[in-house]
Amino acid sequence: MSEKAKISKTLVWSLILFSVLGIYGLIAFFSGNIESQSAKNELGTFKTPEEAFEETQKALNLLSENINSGMENAQYINEYENTKNKVFKKEK
């Protein structure tokens, strides 16, 4: 087999392989995109109002915990500011 025929045959198989991989990639991309769209459409939907209320309570409790933690950290910052102002007195 000549060198040109080997290159041509290799090129053909490479193109076939890349085409198959490209098609597989497109199918995977679009099927994942469709699944994520359906998941987005179902976001925040509950079958009963009680279930929605419970989930809302959980979310609000989590938010409250995070805000309380932030307020504790803010107190440390206030203490730092007070100490800093005592050490570095401003001249007028």
pLDDT tens digits, residue range 11-64? 888 888 889 989 988 888 877 766 666 556 666 677 888 988 998 999 999 988
H helix count then E strand count, the chain: 2, 0
Domain ranges of the chain: 1-43, 47-92
What is the helix, strand, coil percentage profile of the chain, to 5? Answer: 85, 0, 15
pLDDT for 34? 64
- Calculate Rg over the CA atoms of the chain: 31
